[in-house]
Chains A and B, each alone.
Chain A
Amino acid sequence: MEIQLTKTKTITIGGGASGARRTYTDVVGVELFNGDPRGCPAVRLAKKKDGLRLVAAGFVPPPEKPLPGSWEEASKKCVWSLPSAFQAPCAAFAVNSPDMFLAQTTKDAFLSDLAAGGHKSDESSAPKSKFGIRRPAATQSQGGETGKAAAAAEPGVPVSNGGMRFVMQPMKDSGGFVLEAGLPEFQALWLSRLLPEGKRPTAASIQLAPSALIASVLRQPSLGQGSLVLFVACDAVYIVGYKGGDVVLWRRCRNAPGWTAMRETLKKNLGLEDDMVENVLDDKIIDPRSVLEPIVAPIAAELLVSRDYLVGKLGVETKTVLLSGLSAGFDCWKEIARDSANLELKQIETFDGIDASDKALVGNGLSTKGAGAQAFLAALGAAEALLEEEGEG
């Protein structure tokens, strides 16, 4: 049980000194600030004996304020509440931030990043206690506290330094690589207070949307022993390799835009209205190949490189590449991939491997199958990552 005595002090009774990692059974994952006009995708999952069950899925109104871009903006308190269908005890955020970073790197490189204060350190003066949370001393002076920050760099334990917050997880069987994620400290603090205390849910996890995607396919039946998955996110395309369910490769496709940019390109080049894009791609009224090929072919080439890496370095054989997150135009992508790189693409259903029915959907025009469900990937992944975290207490 947690008891908040002061604004800066919360003690836990019955748990360890660092606060017990609990086992979660009912979690809502929410993707924030992805630019979706429908709202923030939210997925509520419950852990059952025989797997996960979809309790609710839909779009929730976003917070009143946007993600802050500075300490000053972050000091303005924003309180957000979720609709009742999504009021699980705990929430897992999958946040999209222009200042975030996610990379596959080595532990030494991570520690260097940590010492340097990350990719983007904010040295401007920051309000000290406007959040009511005591900022770690490491954010105020970089040099002297570097050793401490480095020593605190345990896998899965977030560390603050130089205005950035980092966390690292080792990638099993990857040849010693780690996945490193980072977010500006003020954004992390702001997000931690976004959901108020004393009301369901409260934040139990803040993940980056790209890292949340990694967990979104773990229950897919087609994942198999070795898989290469292509995630088409709103602002980027990611290639993730899995071996025996563990992540062994993560990379962002260079020069590949995200789905938002692809849509804009399609709209512009094909002269489409905004609401016609998906229809055109799916119904093939107009052949979008000419517009898509310059986008998809380089991605397919990078897929080839990644596949070769998996086979050569990690011994992971994979014949089919799973595609996730594509709202429309899969057939065209499949053709281009086959033609340009002799790759077989297979689109996966978002909620495959999970007990999901359309009755759990909140809102009109939604479906647990097909392209419409792809919007929930990051939220699903965030919730799954929190649920699958092994508890200690």
Chain B
Amino acid sequence: MNLQNMAPNAKRSLFISAGAAVCACAVYFMMVEPAHDTIKKLAQRYDETTTRHNQMTIAMTNGRTQDARLKAGKDKLERYENELIVPVLESYPMAAKSKMDKIAIEAGLADMEYNSLPERKLPVPKTLPTQLYARCPISLTCNGSYQAAVSFVRRVEKEFPFVTLGGITITGGQSPERQHVTMVLEWPVKGAVTTPDQKGAVKK
């Protein structure tokens, strides 16, 4: 194909065809392709926004029952926290003494002595609470008969539903009425406070 030998109308036809083809390619690569990309991104954004909107709608629908749940949760927590041991003069044994002495004496135990033992951790739920709780074992050594010790344990277990007997040792003493008793009484207690960004071990 020799352009110089080409007839004017054939040349014109060739240039128009070539020009239109080049313009078509330019429109395609510079406008159509980017438009496709934009549509894809917009579709993605639309999907994400729709999902977020749906989540909001569902959450707000569920929110109608939130108040009741919140109140119920708060009430329960309050009831539970009332059972926690709170230090007296920064002393847990003092707090235990204030609660247990009367019962011990009434049960027939004597020479009560309270000491704190190392705190024991509780497993943490999947949602890490801001306020953690722990186990506060307090050792109580005293003297008394087996029956007095058992009577004390029964009364404590009845009147303090959150107190657990973590251990007991009764050994023979000078007489059956005066045996050496060592008990470990456990209370739930407020533990560490977490911050929202801390991750905890998940309870198995």
**A positions within 8 Å CB-CB of B:** 5-7, 9, 11
- Contact of B5 with A by CB under 8 A: yes
* B1 engages A7 (CB within 8 Å): no
- Contact of B10 with A by CB under 8 A: yes
List chain B residues, Cβ under 8 A from A9.
5-7
User: With A and B bound together, what is the CA distance between A378 and B182 in angstroms?
Assistant: 139
Write the chain B residue with the least CB distance to A5: B10
List chain B residues, Cβ under 8 A from A11.
1
User: With A and B bound together, what is the CA distance between A5 and B10 in angstroms?
Assistant: 6
Between A and B, 10 residue pairs with Cβ closer than 8 Å are: A5-B1, A5-B7, A5-B10, A6-B5, A6-B6, A6-B7, A6-B10, A7-B7, A9-B6, A9-B7
Residues 1 to 36 of chain B near chain A (Cβ within 8 Å): 1, 5-7, 10
Closest CB in chain A relative to B78 CB, distance in Å: 94
Closest CB in chain B relative to A355 CB, distance in Å: 43
List chain A residues, Cβ under 8 A from B5.
6, 9
Closest CB in chain B relative to A325 CB, distance in Å: 45
List chain B residues, Cβ under 8 A from A6.
5-7, 10
User: With A and B bound together, what is the CA distance between A380 and B1 in angstroms?
Assistant: 39
Count of chain B residues near A, Cβ 8 A: 5
Residues 33 to 60 of chain B near chain A (Cβ within 8 Å): none
| B contact patch SS | loop
Write the chain B residue with the least CB distance to A132: B7
User: With A and B bound together, what is the CA distance between A7 and B7 in angstroms?
Assistant: 7
**B positions within 8 Å CB-CB of A:** 1, 5-7, 10
User: With A and B bound together, what is the CA distance between A334 and B1 in angstroms?
Assistant: 62
User: With A and B bound together, what is the CA distance between A11 and B14 in angstroms?
Assistant: 15
Closest CB in chain B relative to A60 CB, distance in Å: 32
List chain B residues, Cβ under 8 A from A7.
7
User: With A and B bound together, what is the CA distance between A98 and B5 in angstroms?
Assistant: 37
Write the chain A residue with the least CB distance to B8: A6
List chain B residues, Cβ under 8 A from A5.
1, 6-7, 10
Q: Which 10 A-B pairs have the closest CB atoms?
A: A6-B7, A5-B10, A5-B6, A6-B10, A6-B6, A7-B7, A9-B5, A5-B7, A6-B5, A5-B1
Closest CB in chain A relative to B9 CB, distance in Å: 9
User: With A and B bound together, what is the CA distance between A130 and B185 in angstroms?
Assistant: 126
Q: Which of A5, A7, A9, A11 has its CB near the most chain B CB atoms (within 10 A)?
A: A5
User: With A and B bound together, what is the CA distance between A6 and B10 in angstroms?
Assistant: 7
User: With A and B bound together, what is the CA distance between A9 and B7 in angstroms?
Assistant: 9
User: With A and B bound together, what is the CA distance between A9 and B4 in angstroms?
Assistant: 12
Closest CB in chain B relative to A133 CB, distance in Å: 13
List chain A residues, Cβ under 8 A from B1.
5, 11
User: With A and B bound together, what is the CA distance between A6 and B12 in angstroms?
Assistant: 12
User: With A and B bound together, what is the CA distance between A376 and B6 in angstroms?
Assistant: 42
User: With A and B bound together, what is the CA distance between A221 and B10 in angstroms?
Assistant: 51
Write the chain B residue with the least CB distance to A7: B7
Closest CB in chain B relative to A324 CB, distance in Å: 47
List chain A residues, Cβ under 8 A from B6.
5-6, 9
Closest CB in chain B relative to A246 CB, distance in Å: 42
User: With A and B bound together, what is the CA distance between A5 and B1 in angstroms?
Assistant: 9
Closest CB in chain B relative to A161 CB, distance in Å: 25
Write the chain A residue with the least CB distance to B14: A5
User: With A and B bound together, what is the CA distance between A6 and B5 in angstroms?
Assistant: 8
Closest CB in chain B relative to A187 CB, distance in Å: 26
Write the chain A residue with the least CB distance to B7: A6
Closest CB in chain B relative to A277 CB, distance in Å: 53
User: With A and B bound together, what is the CA distance between A6 and B8 in angstroms?
Assistant: 8
Closest CB in chain A relative to B143 CB, distance in Å: 120
Write the chain B residue with the least CB distance to A4: B10
User: With A and B bound together, what is the CA distance between A11 and B6 in angstroms?
Assistant: 12
User: With A and B bound together, what is the CA distance between A7 and B8 in angstroms?
Assistant: 10
User: With A and B bound together, what is the CA distance between A9 and B6 in angstroms?
Assistant: 8
Closest CB in chain A relative to B17 CB, distance in Å: 13
User: With A and B bound together, what is the CA distance between A7 and B6 in angstroms?
Assistant: 9
User: With A and B bound together, what is the CA distance between A9 and B10 in angstroms?
Assistant: 11
Write the chain A residue with the least CB distance to B10: A5
